[in-house]
Structure 1
């Protein structure tokens, strides 16, 4: 007897319908065809034990399982459940009337329990697009899948629950998530706040500018000056995720298997802070079975690289293209997948190995030339792509112990949102541009026009600091953001001067 069940394979952040065909006939061997990987080839051992744990029998006949389309590589253990249901239906132990109406996915334990799968959200979206009535999957993934409207989601604990559902002896309640309520109730919940930071008003100003225009930023300062503390609070002043952005971000984390069972929709902008020992593949994505890397997990949020010079140079250089294109393409001989990677890069570093170069009180103990060698670990092309270079100085005792309340993140966020609204109206005709940092060189020429006095100022700065054409564009973008925060239609001389000020690493004082 031939039975067809339906599942899905995930490629990048999208899914494809997979038909699982199960045929039982005279014979004694089991066969799985259709380009399965080792996890799928091993599945029959798990399936046999799970079926026996449910009180049913594994057929002792010839079983042929085909995963169609047969020319696409299938990976992972999430095909256990649809294969098991197909075997039970083909052997007459399960009613097959409703099987074709549902996507079925899940990994089986030996006792029949269902383990969580990756990519439940994109699979759920594909199930709706393909016209299926519902999606049966492990309970741990049910809330994640249930944010897709017009699709019935059943979260199951074990194989027995699924068998009971199809035989009509169990009537589980569908999992229902009100996507908009879930989103708007949690969209502004953060554990950190800028009011925790004493002093550092100039750094807060730079972070506000970065947040308003989506600019990349690097913080340079001695140990203990507050670089990490400030960076961790940046998401609290970024505009709230839109519902579309939340869905995009959730899809990526779903594919990577990073969502908790209690999560249905990501409502906070991601903040990713990988260790400096990370590999280039872990950062940008890839592997034998391509998975999203840290830059994609930071999509619509912040990627924080602490102690930037300690990262391997090869790791840092692979970010150059994603920083410009805001996506990353992972190409292999037989497959090419694309992951979005529109993130804000926030980096921090000590000015030298000992950490006290240019310190107002402590003396640097590094040998001559060591500072320049340390800074040269970060290439010029990468620094060019970082809009704001900000020096962080230690907080003095009086500021640290002050009882005066500092500005809360919510107030800064209001100014950032106002500036972003100006940019939204400005780029309304181009759906791919949302804020100033994303402007193309041609848009910079048209939008970031400056007066003759400003031309003289930036010309002198370029000659003195040796700035590149890319750095010139970046200065204009930052000055446009500063003007937006000030509510100014035009870029004034003071806006341009402040933008030039945020090019610390281009100055001769950092030559070592």
Structure 2
């Protein structure tokens, strides 16, 4: 069984697993400084004296960068239960929330926020929570409101003794599973953009979507995370070493134009390092600070910063011109050619060259769109192609350069772009269950390399 502590973190909160080992040689908290350990021992001794019980002993692994104040109650309860030999009982998991006072009381909370839902999704069957303004219930989760440490300990002991030897029942087994929603369920039309996102997810490519506001660029980019293949064990290990906690999904980090340089690079690991193995989402690319654009370009080139890796998918969106009307049928673009050139040159040719896919998104008339049957096993197909790409040698892309040279649009590309187009063509062939890339695949791959200064709108 597992004991989790609730730690407040933004709007949702985190579940921190408490790992305890029995020891009679005192209390050791791994992952904390000597000062933090001393302060915790003093608080634990003060509470034990007030309650008239022996001081807790054992070894506790504290995750790095954790808020110790949020974990104190769970740690002391876990140590007391471990001393009573109740932890290795094969019981369902328990989540403990609340902050412990020096007299052994638990600070009340006005509301439990998202704690019950978080406990339920982590397959916990019991939630020890502070007293609240009202009693809470949540599905099959047992919620016990406790005013002090001894009351919480009694509730845990009673639960463990009553459920000893039971198998942990996953949340998915308690209620009938709902069918997973299709990644593109909320997106009508934009078939080429959907196809581009599948190619990005399968190949780990960078993508830039541009066009007038309201076309669906941001919605498409936020859909990318649901298309990504699951993390490998190696990727989980790398992300855990950066973040200090084991990930359950690929990270998605959003960079806003209002972010200061200190927010992006003021710590180690930096915000861009935290996107390793996942997606760096940069909306309104043309409004980002110059230092931000240079840093992103640097990360895409070096793939690391200091001792931390920084390999991620860059997913960006921007308007096609300063006024935003370029490509819109019901409005006239008032930008001159120089203004458009300046608009795109602000991004920088070095960064633009690193976008494998650069695609315009134009508003579509939903009343005239043909009905298209969405592919049901889309994520399974993406994973299959993704696995093939991991085994594809770079030399295969180089061997496709002569085929690219037979296409008119491919003659003016840089070497980086040429290899990128060959990789996209290979992915397109793999989606069709073919190993051989033909000219149609190459032409389709080139169609994903269209910039806003190429006069393609009309």
Q: What TM-score do the two structures reach when normalised by structure 2?
A: 0.64
Contact 1:106 1:114 in 2 (8 A): no
Contact 1:450 1:492 in 2 (8 A): no
CA distance in 1, matches of 2:416, 2:24: 52
How far 1:349 sits from its partner (Å)? 0.4
Is residue 354 from structure 1 mapped to residue 323 from structure 2 by the alignment?
yes
| Change over 3 Å in CA distance of 1:67–1:205 after alignment to 2 | closer
1:302-327 deviations in whole A, cap 9, x for unaligned? 4432211222232333334554576x
Is residue 228 from structure 1 mapped to residue 218 from structure 2 by the alignment?
yes
| Change over 3 Å in CA distance of 1:20–1:282 after alignment to 2 | farther
1:301-355 deviations in whole A, cap 9, x for unaligned? x4432211222232333334554576x55x5xxxx6x46x554322110012211
CA distance in 2, matches of 1:417, 1:67: 41
The runs of 5 or more residues in structure 2 that have no matched partner are 6-15, 90-94, 109-114, 130-147
Q: How many equivalent residue pairs?
A: 405
Is residue 406 from structure 1 mapped to residue 372 from structure 2 by the alignment?
yes
Is residue 461 from structure 1 mapped to residue 410 from structure 2 by the alignment?
yes
How far 1:492 sits from its partner (Å)? 1.7
Aligned match of 1:310: 287
Equivalent of 2:257 in 276, 282, 288:
276
CA distance in 2, matches of 1:281, 1:419: 39
Contact 1:212 1:420 in 2 (8 A): yes
Aligned match of 1:219: 209
Q: What TM-score do the two structures reach when normalised by structure 1?
A: 0.58
Is residue 420 from structure 1 mapped to residue 386 from structure 2 by the alignment?
yes
Secondary structure, in 3 states, of the residue corresponding to 1:495?
helix
CA distance in 2, matches of 1:454, 1:66: 65
CA distance in 2, matches of 1:292, 1:66: 35
| Change over 3 Å in CA distance of 1:451–1:163 after alignment to 2 | closer
Aligned match of 1:319: 296
Aligned match of 1:296: 274
| Change over 3 Å in CA distance of 1:96–1:409 after alignment to 2 | same
Contact 2:211 2:320 in 1 (8 A): yes
Equivalent of 1:109 in 71, 89, 100:
100
| Change over 3 Å in CA distance of 1:475–1:177 after alignment to 2 | farther
Contact 1:34 1:66 in 2 (8 A): no
| Change over 3 Å in CA distance of 1:107–1:209 after alignment to 2 | same
Contact 2:325 2:331 in 1 (8 A): yes
CA distance in 2, matches of 1:374, 1:66: 62
CA distance in 2, matches of 1:101, 1:412: 41
Secondary structure, in 3 states, of the residue corresponding to 1:505?
coil
CA distance in 1, matches of 2:202, 2:98: 44
CA distance in 1, matches of 2:291, 2:379: 35
Contact 1:235 1:269 in 2 (8 A): yes
| Change over 3 Å in CA distance of 1:105–1:374 after alignment to 2 | same
Is residue 209 from structure 1 mapped to residue 159 from structure 2 by the alignment?
no
Aligned match of 2:180: 189
Contact 2:99 2:106 in 1 (8 A): yes
CA distance in 2, matches of 1:408, 1:391: 22
